Structure 1
Amino acid sequence: MSFNHNNNEPIDHSQNSNIQYYPGWYPCPSSQDESIQELQHKQKKKSRGNRKLQRYRRNLRKQGMDPDTIIRITGAWVDIDSEESSKIMEQNLDKTNSTVNETMFHEIAMVEKNKTHTNIYKHGLVSPKQPNLKRLIRTNKTNSVISVQPSKKTSISNNSSVDYTNIPDQIFFHMLSTAFNDVDKLGHFLNEKEKFEFIREYTNLIDRLSYVKLQEQQWNYYYNIGMTQNIWSGRISKPLSKKNSICNTYGKSKTIIEQYRRNFSKELSQAQYRIELFEKEILFKSAQHIDCTSEIKMLSFIINTFVYEKQQKLREEFEYKRQMLILDAIDHRLMQAFYNLKPNSSQIASARRIWRVTTKHIIMNEQIAILKQRLISKQPLPASTLFDHTINRIETSLTQLDNVMIQDDKSTTVPSSQFDTMNQLKHNIINQSIITAREMAETSAQIILDETQRLLSFKHDDQHLHEVHITVVNAIEDRRYHMMQRGNYMIQEKLATYLRQN
């Protein structure tokens, strides 16, 4: 059906006997009706989802990958439109294909009991996770340009703490010197090189098992706290989170948590099986020469103690994530409790201003704590601002001068006054920065106090409305108090991390 341009009335072509329709043939519109026909036939395209992601999943299924692994790989997917990102996608697909082939081979090796442990360990039973594509998309806030950059860590290895296969022999021997000294009986059937590779491989297996146990405990914690306190996942829009000075997302959904629990439970069984198989093989090999059961038990204890110390940082990171999950969930609940009271526009504006200034106040407190740490620390702290880099350069110069002064080299003369001058300069800069940060923190605190007093001074003639208003003010203060607690915890953890690094 088209339109008559003279009177805008529709023209019914079905009544025109001169026009015949054939399969695959359509009448050509005239120049007058061309624009109208284009608009008439132009329809909104149907959304069929992310086609690239669908093709990616289809290729994974063709390679024989199980659905849980596919979900884990594509769970953090982000849309990719640029040519660079498409290339990254192709590279990830190639890596995945090779990984899946290896995984299928290892599962067969698990069934075949007569396969040697060398092949089982070499290929692994669990395919490594694929690169998180979201990490490849980085935003340069300074230039406001979004660019695709290669991630520093493009894949997560089976051992997320330390890869002992890449550590030089001398360093590895120094790390586990006790283990090498307590396995003399292994020398009856293993030469020095074989003994070295045996301990290295045994360490990797135990480290992997310990890591999987930590992951299983972490996801079990997420599941238990979700079931007991109903803390799963929360998400709000980024504009709304910015207005209310709150994180826009936290936690994981129940479905994802259950998937991770199943995956790590399976990986735990596989890791335990590999260690048992490895120990049986070495005991079977040693049985022809000497009984070294006690040495294997002692070696296992030494390596487990060593791995436990090395994974201390990982346990602290997991504990930090647990605490932040609870703090973020409570923060969202307090914000929702405020809006559930149906505050008016004036109350909302005051609440957002108080929360925004509270965030700035927390930032100033963090700067003060870090600056105080710089006064007593002799090692440069991680730098994020121009000021941090400047102080780090001064501290580096002081360390170099101190080393030169300690050395007994008559050819090098460094006046002590130069060292004292630079050291005094560093302290003056930091002290002045602390004073400035304190002034800014006091200003923020005064703004919060004034805004709260203004809210409390507002009177209502209706007693019920006045009580509702007080309840709203209390909700604002409850969330502000929690924000301070959350900020103080993050500051303490950041300082603790600096101390552990130094």
Structure 2
Amino acid sequence: MNPALDFTKMTAMVTALVRKGQHKLKQQFEHNKKMLTLDSTDHRLVKNVHDLKPNKQQIRSIRNIWKAIYNKKQMEEQIDILKHRIHSNCLPPAFNLLDYSLDKIDKKLTRFKQSSISDNDNKQQTILAARRLKKIGRFKYDLLELSIAAGEQKVRYYDKIAKKEKKKLITISDKLKKNNTNSDMFKQLIEAIEARQQHMVVRADYITQQKLKSFFGEAPASQDATMNNDGVGAN
């Protein structure tokens, strides 16, 4: 005979599930609203630059600056994720392939251990197996640290590109000013470029935080982390 159903307990469980679902829906709604605001602001800031009518040379430098900033933030995101993996002892799934590739060696060592003729052989095999596991673990973290170092070098590279292109933009604009071009217009252009650049950083930082929460905690996944990294529409 089936035991009597505990309707009070069932009701509490259903209520908890509903509340959890509502919480996730609310999180997703707030995330979508935030992304809509960020994207709308980004579109407006790009339009502000376009409305100042930069010439083709200026547009090329603007695109290169924004592309460098975009690539820099993308790389910083990957670095943050890798650092968080080390801190939380949560290795990338791809590292499981390393363990899988060593399964055959494990089996051979196990068979050898079973066929060993002395306790000393068994002891040596146990020591070697422990040392091997320790070295594999250290190797995985060394790979992460090398990836972080390579990423940080890339960040510095993109930062140099952005600064180089900004100097180039200033040089181009200085030449235009000598030809009686409105200097106030150039000042407005630089301010508009930097405003969009700062917003790119804010947007990228928000997406990174959402990804960290999504990977390692409770948060809606960022479904569209891409953005128009040039925006002014010229080559």
TM-score (norm 1): 0.35
Letter in 1 for 2:79: I
Query: In percent, how many aligned pairs have the same letter?
Result: 28
For residues 313 and 395 of structure 1, the distance between their equivalents in structure 2, rounded to whole angstroms, comes to 35
Task: Classify 1:423/1:302 alpha carbon distance in 2 versus 1 (closer, same or farther; 3 Å).
Answer: closer
Give yes or no for the alignment of 1:393 onto 2:110: no
AA at the equivalent of 2:87: I
Q: Which residue of 1 aligns with 2:32?
A: 321
Q: Is 1:308 aligned to 2:9, yes or no? A: no
Q: Is 1:427 equivalent to 2:141 in the alignment?
A: yes
Cα pair distance change 1:355/1:194, threshold 3 Å: farther
Paired residue secondary structure (1:481): helix
Matched residue of 2:54: which SS? Answer: coil
Which residue number in structure 2 is paired with residue 351 of structure 1? Answer: 62
What's the CA shift string for 1:237-265, capped at 9, x where partnerless?
xxxxxxxxxxxxxxxxxxxxxxxxxxxxx
Q: Secondary structure at the match of 2:47?
A: helix
Distance 1:331 1:392 in 2: 39
Instruction: In structure 1, list runs of 5 or more residues that go unmatched.
Output: 1-190, 200-294, 384-388, 402-409
Selected match of 1:453 from 151, 162, 167:
167
CA offsets, 1:406-442, max 9 Å, x none?
xxxx989463211110011111111111111111110
- Are the aligned partners of 1:368 and 1:437 in contact in 2 as well (CA < 8 Å)? yes
How far apart are 1:192 and its partner, in Å? 5.0
CA distance in 2, matches of 1:327, 1:484: 11
For residue 343 of structure 1, give the secondary structure of its aligned residue in structure 2: coil
Contact 2:62 2:169 in 1 (8 A): no
Aligned to 2:217: 500
For residues 101 and 29 of structure 2, the distance between their equivalents in structure 1, rounded to whole angstroms, comes to 36
Q: Which residue of 1 is the match for residue 202 of structure 2?
A: 485
> Which amino acid is the alignment partner of residue 468 of structure 1?
M
Instruction: Name the CA distance, whole Å, in 1 between partners of 2:65 and 2:217.
Output: 35
Which of 156, 169, 172 is the aligned partner of 1:442?
156
1:430 maps to a residue whose letter is L
8 Å Cα contact 2:61/2:168 also seen in 1: no
The alpha-carbon distance between structure 1 residues 464 and 374, as it changes in their structure 2 partners (threshold 3 A), is same
The residue aligned with 2:130 is: 416
Alpha-carbon shift at residue 393 of structure 1 (Å): 3.0
Distance 2:129 2:23 in 1: 43
Shift of 1:366: 1.2
Cα drift, residue 347 of structure 1? 1.3
Contact 1:337–1:475 (8 Å) recurs in 2: yes
Amino acid at match of 2:185: V
Give the SS at the match of 1:358. Answer: helix
Amino acid at match of 1:442: R
- Cα contact 2:65–2:162 (8 A) shared by 1: yes
Question: Residue 366 of structure 1 contacts residue 491 of structure 1 at CA under 8 Å; is this kept in 2?
Answer: yes
Within 1, Cα distance between the matches of 2:99 and 2:186? 53
Q: Unaligned regions of 5+ residues in structure 2, if any?
A: 107-118, 219-235
Tell whether 2:48 aligns with 1:337. yes
- How much has 1:323 moved relative to structure 2? 1.0
- Is 1:380–1:396's contact at 8 Å kept on the other side of the alignment? no
- Residue by residue over 1:348-387, the C-alpha shift from the partner in whole angstroms, topping out at 9 and shown as x without a partner, is 1111111111111111101111111222333444x6xxxx
Q: TM-score, normalised by structure 2?
A: 0.71
CA distance in 2, matches of 1:299, 1:322: 35
Distance between the aligned counterparts of 1:471 and 1:362, measured in 2?
25
Structure-2 separation of matches of 1:347 and 1:473:
10
- Alignment partners' CA distance in 2, 1:304 and 1:463: 72
Aligned alpha-carbon RMSD (Å): 3.1
CA gap of 1:373–1:392, structure 2 versus 1, over 3 A, is farther
Distance 1:334 1:392 in 2: 44
Partner Cα separation in structure 2 for residue 484 and residue 395 of structure 1: 38
How far apart, CA to CA, are the structure 1 residues paired with 2:151 and 2:129? 34
Aligned equivalents of 1:372, 1:350: Cα separation in 2: 33
Counterpart position of 2:224? none
CA deviation digits over 1:433-492, x for unaligned, max 9?
111111111010011011112223432136661211221122111111111111111111
Q: 2:2 & 2:41 partners in 1: Cα distance?
A: 57
Q: Deviations over 1:53-95 (max 9, x none)?
A: xxxxxxxxxxxxxxxxxxxxxxxxxxxxxxxxxxxxxxxxxxx
User: Equivalent residue of 1:418, what SS?
Assistant: helix
What is the Cα deviation at residue 300 of structure 1? 4.9
Taking a change above 3 Å as real, the CA distance of residues 299 and 427 of structure 1, as seen in their structure-2 partners, is: closer
Partner of 2:222: none
The correspondence of residues 373-392 of structure 1 with structure 2, limited to 5 A, is 373-381=84-92, 389=94, 391-392=95-96
Quick check: which has more Rg, 1 or 2? Answer: 1
Residue 313 of structure 1 and its aligned partner are, at CA, apart by 3.5
| Deviation digits for residues 205-248 of structure 1 (CA, Å, limit 9, x no counterpart) | xxxxxxxxxxxxxxxxxxxxxxxxxxxxxxxxxxxxxxxxxxxx
- Map residues 45-194 of structure 1 onto 2, 5 A cutoff: 192=2
